Structure 1
Amino acid sequence: MAKQHVIPNNGIWQVKRENSTKATKNFDTQKDAIAFGRNIAINQQSELVIHGRNGQIRNSNSYGNDPCPPKDTKF
């Protein structure tokens, strides 16, 4: 599945599917955009990529079949 990106655009925040020219939805706050994008990523078992105000990737979370899952350190 395609990644979902939370990106800034002229004072608003957008959730955009990877390689899409149109935003899925626009938001006034990054927090609201992240919550919406997270729900899409969970439903599609894909990755959510969060960009900062400067457009650079700030964080990402995988909600699906992660090709490189972290090893469990609990015993």
Structure 2
Amino acid sequence: MAGKNQHVVPDGNGGWNVKGEGNSKATANFNTQADAINKAVQISKNQQSEMFIHGRNGQIRERNTYGNDPFPPKG
């Protein structure tokens, strides 16, 4: 079973949070988006889940899968 998807989101104070999907509180807070992405990648690989990177405007700008992603798709 896959773990929670991880989201890298702005924290509103100039930093970046890593949040598990559906969580109200951040798992971790960082000064730079790069540091937050590194932590989110670690968690996503450990939980075999997806990671979503949001821009400052809140829109998803990138996503990566670290679980069972059958690519290329069968069929």
What is the TM-score when the length of structure 1 is the normalising length? 0.88
* Whole-Å separation in 2 of the counterparts to 1:50 and 1:19: 15
SS of the counterpart of 2:7?
A: strand
* Whole-Å separation in 1 of the counterparts to 2:66 and 2:72: 16
Gaps of 5+ in 2: none
Work out which of the two has the higher radius of gyration on C-alpha atoms and give 1 or 2: 1
* Whole-Å separation in 1 of the counterparts to 2:43 and 2:4: 10
Instruction: Give the C-alpha shift of residue 60 in structure 1.
Output: 0.3
- Give the residue type in structure 2 aligned to 1:15: V
Query: 1:70 maps to which residue?
Result: 71
What is the TM-score when the length of structure 2 is the normalising length? 0.88
Query: 1:9 maps to which residue?
Result: 11
Off by >4 Å, runs of 4+ in structure 1 = none
Instruction: Give the C-alpha shift of residue 13 in structure 1.
Output: 0.1
Per-residue CA deviation, residues 13-42 of structure 1 (Å, 9 max, x unaligned), is 000000000000000000000000000000
* Whole-Å separation in 1 of the counterparts to 2:11 and 2:31: 10
SS of the counterpart of 2:4?
A: coil
Gaps of 5+ in 1: none
